Amino acid sequence: MRNFFSNKKLIIFMVVIIVIISTITASLTFSKRRSQPAFIHQAGNDGLGIIGNVVALPINGVRNIGDNFSNLFDTYQENRRLKAHLDDLAQTKAQISALKKENQDLKRQVKLNKTLTDYHQITASVISRSPNNWQNYLIINKGALSGVKKDMPVMSGSGLVGRVVEVNQTNSKVGLISTDKSLSNKFAVEVTKNSGNDTSGIIDRYDKDDNLLVMTNVASADKVKTGQKVITSGLGGLTPRGLYVGKVVKIKKDDYGLVSSIYVKPATDLNNFTIVTVISRDVEHG
Amino acid sequence: MVDLKSKTAKYIGQFIILLLGFFLDGSLKSTFTNLNKPSFQVSLQILLLLLVIMVLHDQKEDNHLFWYSLILGVLYDSYYSRIFGLYSTILPLTVIVVQTVQSYIPESFVFEWSMYFIVLTISMLYLYIIGVFLNLALVDMTRFITDWLGPTLLVNSIIFLVLYFPMTKLINWLWQ
């Protein structure tokens, strides 16, 4: 037994293992608790972000050329399809601007300044993506200087893709909703119906096999039908109301027929990002 | 004219090459979306690849590659994952292991590729085990092997094939 402990290498080995495990757990705990990382950590990340931007530039350039070529082949089909939507769009736009104006007037009348639906956007481009498979973090080129805060929702195209998990001065990390469990605070969402109350619930996990989001904690899924739209409900956290998440594709009851989960098809491809939009809610969180 | 074969130039040059690998890992992964499919998740490890080649072709005069790997490992964790102790463990350990077995490995593509293959497998397993331990990677072992480990080994081996000959030529020309 004395031989065992006098072995110097073994002791070094054990100390190293203890140090590694404690650093991992400590960094995980602190990163969850703090709203911004420590100064030196931030400074390091900012410096690396600047170099990362320079490296990403030529790579993104090559990618854009490739995208342009593939877009060229789809153009004709796409043009025909889009033309059909065009008239409808103009009408909707006109209607929305009229409604917006009316809404503003009404809000002024009841002296309501900001509501849950008011937000502004911060557009950022994706520099990099974490190589580690269970941490699907995107690194974007906007940070605290541009007004990004921890836990703000992030959109790409027309749909919700994730949430800001770490903010540095000039760049930040975005955790995707497709990552299994990284988002400790989930998104509160609701299914919009034409009539009756909206059904609210929480985006709980991502179904990897079918690429669907799973909405749980649903009070009653009685009148929910496939094809209905799912939006954020603005309850809790920093998420405003009315961000488009996706469409209902199926409703599944548990074995006892009591609790149901609603499967939602995300509005955007959760893999392909170059530009993302960080959503900043105008109402202070409550 | 700067002497490219001087010792300072070697230290700086090695660090710049490793730093390039550092950033390529992330930006290539974000650019090529085929690498991120749920059933084909590739974790690019170009930094690890360059480190293995560099250690295998390094004259063991001093231990600067170990310190490089430690610094880059800490930066890697800070920049990409915000959990310290993943790559800041893998990279220095890789350098130690490869330096230990260096004298047994002949200078040929197949042997060096096998070295990289083994190191890569172990580091992927390490990352997976930490992920399971922290309850962040919710994928069972079979899915891990087919969806993560397999594609990662495949794609990184192809990158090894592409990078091996130019890298060894460059290293042998400059620093030997």
Among the partner residues B27, B127, B131, nearest to A59 by beta-carbon distance: B27
Check CB contact under 8 Å for B37 and A271: yes
What whole-number percentage of chain A has pLDDT above 70?
Answer: 92
For residue A188, pLDDT beyond 70? yes
At residue B45, the pLDDT reads: 92
Q: Which two tokens stand for residue B81?
A: 């994952």
What's the pLDDT band for B159 if we cut at 50, 70, 90? very high
Give pLDDT, residue B61: 74
Beta bridge partners of residue A61, listed in sequence order: none
- The pLDDT value recorded for residue A286 is 45
* Gap between the Cα atoms of B84 and B100, Å rounded: 25
Q: What is the mean pLDDT of chain B?
A: 88
Backbone angles phi, psi at A181, to 5 degrees: -140, 10
Mean pLDDT of A109-125: 80
pLDDT of A266 strictly over 90: no
CB of A164 within 8 A of CB of A149? yes
Lowest-confidence segment of A82-86, A138-142, B43-47 by average pLDDT? A82-86
Q: Which residues of B touch A209 (CB under 8 A)?
A: 38
As a whole number, the mean pLDDT across chain A is 82
Tell me: the pLDDT tens digits for A211-223? 888 888 887 767 7
What pLDDT does residue B50 have? 93
Q: What is the mean pLDDT of residues A152-179?
A: 85
The pLDDT value recorded for residue A285 is: 52
Contact status, residue A199 vs residue A185, Cβ threshold 8 Å = no
Confidence at B123, pLDDT banded by 50, 70, 90: very high
pLDDT for B118 equals 94
Q: Would you call A128 and B30 a contact, using CB atoms and an 8 Å cutoff?
A: yes
- Cα–Cα distances (Å) from B59 to A203, B49, B91, B175, in that order, read 55, 18, 19, 9
- B27 closest CB neighbour out of A128, A209, A271: A128
Asked if pLDDT for residue B44 goes beyond 50, the answer is yes
- pLDDT of A182 strictly over 70: no
Is residue B32 a contact partner of residue A273, using CB atoms and an 8 Å limit? no
Q: From A49, which residue of chain B is nearest by alpha-carbon distance? A: B79
Which of A16, A34, A128 has the highest number of chain B CBs within 10 A, making it the mutation to test binding with B?
Answer: A128
Task: Return the domain boundaries, chain A.
Answer: 119-283
CA-based nearest residue in chain B for residue A184: B136
Q: Which of A129, A173, A184, A269 to mutate to test the interface with B (most CBs of B within 10 A)?
A: A129
Mutate one of A42, A132, A205 to test the B interface: name it (highest B CB count within 10 A).
A132
Instruction: Give the pLDDT score at A207.
Output: 79
Please give the residue that has the higher pLDDT: either A97 or A151. Answer: A97
Quick one: pLDDT band at residue A259, thresholds 50, 70, 90? confident
pLDDT at B151: 92
* Class at the top of the CATH hierarchy for domain A119-283: mainly beta
Read off the amino acid at residue B31.
Answer: T
Q: With 80 as the cut, is the pLDDT of residue B19 above it?
A: yes
User: Which residue has better confidence, B174 or A236?
Assistant: B174
The mean pLDDT of B144-156, rounded to a whole number, is 91
> Mean pLDDT over residues A183-197, rounded?
74
**Residue A99 to chain B, least CA–CA distance (Å):** 39
Compute the distance between CA of residue A188 and CA of residue B95 in angstroms, rounded to an integer.
Answer: 46
Choose the closest CB to B36 out of A41, A52, A271. Answer: A271
- Could you tell me if B137 and B131 are in contact, meaning their C-beta atoms sit under 8 angstroms apart? yes
Mean predicted confidence (pLDDT) in A148-175: 87
Under the banding of pLDDT at 50, 70 and 90, the label for residue A53 is: confident
Q: 3-class DSSP state for residue A249?
A: strand
CB contact under 8 Å between A52 and B19, yes or no, is no
Inter-chain CB proximity A272 and B33 less than 8 Å: yes
